[in-house]
Amino acid sequence: MSALHALLRDEAGFIVSAELVLVATLLVIGLIVGLSEVQHALVAELNDVADAIGSVNQSYSYSGFSARKSDGCVKSVTYGSSFRDSVDDCDNNQCEIACDVPQSEGRKW
């Protein structure tokens, strides 16, 4: 009975437990804030990468040529081609959130 009585009166671990709970709480709060900042920094960098890709000009062109035989007939011909890059909707953060004008619901029957 005295060993059980001593165990119930023992408070040696109480202070250590309270300190651990406080330290663990502060660490978790700091971890959440830190991960949030990492998320914002990562999104900003990925936005920069997307802007760089969006600003690449993808236009191209090449001219055609033809070859003739000695008698003047066409031996081979290749036609040229070209493509002109147009601005996309979301190139370089040009996205716009289009909100429609509010409409009334009309009469309720």
* Helices and strands (DSSP H and E) totals, the chain: 2, 4
Q: What is the pTM of this model?
A: 0.49
pLDDT of 90: 67
Distances (CA, A) of 70 to 64, 73, 75: 20, 7, 9
Question: What is the per-residue pLDDT across 6-32, written as a single tens digit (0 to 9) for each?
Answer: 877 776 666 667 788 889 999 999 999
Q: What is the structure's pLDDT at 85?
A: 81
Is the pLDDT reported for residue 86 higher than 90?
no
